Structure 1
Amino acid sequence: MTFARGTLHRFFQRSNRRATGFIALMATVAPAFMPVSVHAAPLAELKLDYAYYSPESLVIKRNGWLEEALAPDHTQVKWVLSLGSNRALEYLNSGAIDVGSTAGLAAVLAKANGNPIRAVYIFSRPEWTALVVRKDSPITTLAQLKGKKIAATNGTDPFLFTLRALHTAGLSRDDVQIVNLQHPDGRTALANGQVDAWAGLDPHMAAAEVNDGARLLYRNVDFNTWGFLNAREDFIAAHPDTLAHVLKVYEKARLWIAAHPDETAQIIAEESKVSLPVAKLQLSRNDFSHPQPGSQQLVALKAAAPILTQEQLVKPGTDLNQVIEALIDVKPAQPVIAANSSK
């Protein structure tokens, strides 16, 4: 095909005008289709829990440190009481809170069953649970619990501790009668003789020892999984700056507790409404020296996880190792802890 010189010139003129118009049109509409970097507006309200089994949460709440840290962003702080891991996990799953305190294995169980959480901080390495009997109980061994009533709060570390403890004696959940009661109600049921044993949780367990003379039938610190500070996945993604403020304040509380044990015990006593000796006993059973989530928790939880399969608490075929690896989020706490380490 051949073109005269004038025809070819007019062809390119028309083509250039069309191209210019197309480019102008795309410049107008492209922002609606092209991904852009958006910074989330400051959070209007942060919802998080406080728990009697988490000394940091009580110290932070008492001192107003989080409200102070978030004041420049005009973020309001809403505190919600969690009486146990099961409650904290329910609140996280429903969106009633953004950040919540739970035991490690309870968080694994929730994550395996669809709770959209990640563990972003370790608030303590506790021995906060044991199997407890009355001071006059004839029961002296785990084997003697066969056929007995044990109070425990479903979905919590004491509940899972109980199942693991029973397995060490060749027993299963079917060999005992587990009575589902919240932790303080379990203590009352034990004291009143309504159950034979109780899967205790501090500070209620410490109060039972100090005030009631209750006896710890079975202790195993390795069966006490770590104290996890969990956050909802959508909150982590949308509000990393707010989460960083939360972790900085938790770090401040952790270091403050180490330097002020007597003041911490007083806060625990007043917030939990227990005596000072009870608060001191609870505090003595916490190790605050490992705040960074990582390999220690992965190892501990992978060792503990088989109980969830053995007791049919998760769907058949659930890859619990994969669940645990998805739960532990090492990144959010790293810069916060590193900043304190360099001081």
Structure 2
Amino acid sequence: MAKIPEKMRWIYDLLLTAAILAMATVLCTLLRRIDDGSGYVNLIFVLAVATISRWTEGYFWGIFSAVSGVLFVNYVFTYPYWEFNFTITGYPFTFLAMLTVSMMISAMNTQIKKQERLRIETEKEAVRANLLRAMSHDIRTPLTSIVGNTAAILENEDSFSSEQKRRLLEDVNEDAQWLIRMVENLLSITRMSGGQAKIEKDCEAAEEIVGVSVSKFTKRFPAIKVSIEVPDEVLMVPMDATLIRQVIMNLLENAAIHGGNVTQIRVCLSREGTNACFSVSDNGVGIPKERLSTIFNGGLSGVSHNNFDMKKNMGIGLSVCYTIVKAHDGTMTAENLDSGGACFRFYLPLEEGINSEIEG
């Protein structure tokens, strides 16, 4: 069942309770036209109480429906009709039975929900711990390189030629750029965690988001040819533009840095049903098959596959991409192409919906 906002929970439970009791009443009324007996009435209302207890929050509505159901059965479906008669044989037992059923189901439901929340929180903490552990490991490598290269220049400036200094500074710049991307990913994770953070969506032209991302990428990787395919129609997609640009940039940079001798990248935008499909494919060596099922969980650090370079954690960027797409009520997939290379796709709904709520 979809998560109900807390401020709407009481109204939802009230309407649900009223609807189920009304359906039980209508059903009993229809059955009365076929069978003058009343044995089925109690069973139908017990079922109604059980359903209400299962799908409402806490104990109140289950107990309320049990009391209401017993009184309603007494007043409407028990002779003399449309009058209360508390002297009916077995009436106290019926009341206690319905009340007990509602309390038992409400108690079980509350316990199930509590266990589910605990399980989810445990999984989220494990994901956070893995991401932070991977980040701390990966951040240490470029920092060590930056410190080592700058110290070498400062301490032995006269020993290096201009070309050697340039190469060392280029290494420093590359590591610094990687750290910037890592910090951006970390900020995105922080932004979408803790309490009930919201993704604020505006309708954006998806073609422009793709174009801006590719333009920024080609300035950093001019040697890699990037082709763009977009539909004739303009796809207006509800999104947080900054976060979706980050997803596309992460996918492009992962292909360039980790794909293994990538010289061409293809970015496609298309409409698939009620979704906009974004895909980024390359002509590299592909992804290790055994890693495809876990590629979005941040666990691809230190893996080698042919020329597939993962010295710095590719998994963190993909985990952030997956989290951002999921926050937009979208989905994301990864696969190896028959022609070689990898292809990442993510799908965003074209219809504007209620701002997604992400629990940290």
The TM-score, its normalising length taken from structure 2, stands at: 0.22
Determine which structure has greater relative contact order: mean sequence separation of CA pairs < 8 Å that are 6+ residues apart, divided by chain length: 1
Higher helix share: 2
